[in-house]
Amino acid sequence: MKEKIISIIESYGRTSGRLMDILLSVQAEFRCVSEEAVSLIASELGVSEADVNQTKTFYHFFTTKPVGKYAVYMNNSVTSVMKGMYDVVDEFEKQAGIKFGQTTPDGLLSLNYTACIGMSDQEPAALINNVVFTELTRDKVRKIYSDMRDGKPVEAMFNEFGDGNNANQLVKTMVKNNIRRRGNVTLGEYEVGKGLTKALSMSSQEVIDEIKNSNLRGRGGAGFPTGLKWQFCSKETGDKYVMCNADEGEPGTFKDRVLLTERAHMIFEGMAVAGYAIGAKEGVLYLRHEYKYLKAFMESVLAELRNKNILGNNILGKGFNFDIRVQFGAGAYVCGEESALIESSEGKRGEPRNRPPFPVQRGYNAKPTVINNVETFCSVVKIIENGSAWYRGMGTEESAGTKLLSISGDCKMPGVYEIEWGMTIADMLQMVGAEDVQAVQVAGPSGICLPPSQFNRKIAIEDLPTGGSMIVIGANRDLIKDVVLNFMEFFEDESCGSCVTCRSFNMILRKQVKKVVDGRGIKSDLDNMLAWGEIMRKTSRCGLGQTASNPVSTTIKNFLDLYNARVKDAEYQSDFDMHKAIEESCEVVGRPANIHE
């Protein structure tokens, strides 16, 4: 073990800045990062064990005990549950004879849950040894389990691949793109290198001005003007970085997965344009661990771009040097927050930083850094190619261009749609073949739960901003139990724990929602939930805590009747059960559990 770990450490240049990669390799090699491995890594890197442990324990996919030879991570996001996850779970448990959270005694198989893996349009889905299995059924589980018993490699368990690059020799996944609508920008026609060639014929300030004039705003969801971000960063001096946020973790979003699969060249090209504009030589694409299956493919695209001199030294003969590496995460929703993503890329816990300083001032390795979403970089390429006026011609006044939507849930045609900003929710529902809709969850759990009375609202930054996640919730669903409770369980798991209110209130709100679902709630519980959610919003450092109460607050606001039907009109109710509370201690000391009231 020692030699192998040392060679892993060597391969990452013996620096603690690459701790994430080191831990990922150790986990992949030994199916765990044991305590011995932690000590060894710490001593080899010259840091304390606590330094290694704090990173290790932060991420979902690092384990102290070995996972099974086949490590199943079942997605328990809301759409997976909607599409029959519990049947799949039941079949896995039956076949393996263990419960989720356990490993078979022979070490063959471990079963665990994980948060949304970006397959909401083909659920229920699971990762098995980082290989994606979609649209699982009881039959498929039985087949998979029997293959496991036969010792088949996971890659050999299926032979039908998805469309487009999903079938590429380096990818070979069953994942489907489900591209339902192409617009003119990110999923339109694309010729490698055209945008960058044009950018390099302009001055860097001209590139920034073009992006500014296009009104392009960040596609991750927050909608910050991209040109302005670049301008801020360009004014800083010294080494700079360009980072691409490919950590889409918002349940219900999967559009970046499609771009990473079909527009990898375009993403990297967009990063190079940004590098030229702000004066950076290095780029990092932070890719979520759930998309590990794209690793070899992404690296081959990088190699191809270097061969074409679109990356590397003296790019296209213009004296501009820029290269990119791919950094993997290890399962943490909060790393989609840009400063947490930077921390993670530096090998640390993915805890959001205090701001200011902003990443454009002090980002990756404490250097000025521009971070943009995958879709933003793709848009950049087309804006440079066709000009800002062309881009502004699409969308609305305040939201220029097109937006990729990841639409899932109760509709006939879930998948990725490139639309112009400004479409109404009603039109969207018609487009995806959704009938009898109870609600639409706009922008994922951290967004809002929209009732039919508001379906005339527009998908646009000025009305309904979204990173792209749209979950259609049919009339037959139990909104509070199936959706709100699921979302609060998600936030409770994913809070990094740094801010007290986010750490505590997510748990408290989850319990409170459960109380309502179980029929134990009273009217004042609803007021409490709203008040506590507001405290969490005001006192959390990052977007996670600031939005985590939205599932509760937007449904109480928009679906109050559903809550009122479940809560009692009592002033006070106690859940305290004296008999339960004394049972254990009576048994320990050996006395009858009698209470004389």
Partner 1 sequence: MSKPIIATASLAGCFGCHMSILDIDDRILQLIELVEFNKSPIDDIKTFTKQCDIGIIEGGCCNSENVHVLKDFRKNCKILISLGECAIMGGLPAMRNGIPVKECIEEAYLDGPTVGENKERILPNDEELPIILDKVYPLHEIVKIDYYLPGCPPRADLIWKAVVALATGDELNIPYELVKFD
Q: Closest separation between CB of residue 574 and partner 1, Å?
A: 6
C-alpha separations of 428 from 49, 417, 419, 468 in Å: 52, 10, 9, 12
Q: Closest separation between CB of residue 570 and partner 1, Å?
A: 10
Q: Closest separation between CB of residue 588 and partner 1, Å?
A: 5
Q: Closest separation between CB of residue 113 and partner 1, Å?
A: 23
**What pairing do the DSSP bridges indicate for beta strands 312-315 and 320-328?**
antiparallel
Sheet bearing 448-450, strands edge to edge = 179-181, 415-420, 402-409, 469-474, 437-442, 448-450
139 vs 597 by CB, closer to partner 1: 597
354 vs 574 by CB, closer to partner 1: 574
Q: Are 159 and 146 in contact (CB under 8 A)?
A: no
CA distance 413 to 418: 14
65 vs 580 by CB, closer to partner 1: 580
325 vs 580 by CB, closer to partner 1: 580
Q: Closest separation between CB of residue 540 and partner 1, Å?
A: 18
- Read off the tokens for 192: 């490698």
CA distance 554 to 568: 21
28 vs 570 by CB, closer to partner 1: 570
Instruction: Please report where in the chains the tokens 């890659």 appear, as a residue.
Output: 155
106 vs 584 by CB, closer to partner 1: 584
**Which 3-state string (H, E, C) describes 115-183?**
CCCCCHHHCCCEEECCEEECCCCHHHHHHHHHHHHCCCCHHHHCCCCCCHHHHCCCCCCCCCCCEEECC
3-state helix, strand, coil in the chain (%, to 5): 45, 15, 40
CA distance 396 to 402: 10
Q: Closest separation between CB of residue 522 and partner 1, Å?
A: 11
* H or E stretch covering 232: helix 226-234
Q: Is 92 helix (H, G, I), strand (E, B) or coil?
A: helix
Q: Closest separation between CB of residue 515 and partner 1, Å?
A: 12
C-alpha separations of 213 from 209, 250, 531 in Å: 6, 29, 41
C-alpha separations of 360 from 68, 236, 321, 369 in Å: 42, 8, 20, 5
CA distance 389 to 400: 10
426 vs 593 by CB, closer to partner 1: 593
Sheet bearing 70-75, strands edge to edge = 109-114, 70-75, 126-128, 131-133
Q: What angle do CA 519, 523, 529 make, to 5 degrees?
A: 90
228 vs 593 by CB, closer to partner 1: 593
Give the binding site for partner 1 (CB under 8 A).
571-572, 574-576, 578, 580-586, 588-595, 597
Q: Closest separation between CB of residue 524 and partner 1, Å?
A: 10
412 vs 576 by CB, closer to partner 1: 576
Q: Closest separation between CB of residue 59 and partner 1, Å?
A: 24
Q: Closest separation between CB of residue 577 and partner 1, Å?
A: 10
DSSP 187: S
* H or E stretch covering 111: strand 109-114
Q: Closest separation between CB of residue 595 and partner 1, Å?
A: 6
354 vs 594 by CB, closer to partner 1: 594
156 vs 588 by CB, closer to partner 1: 588
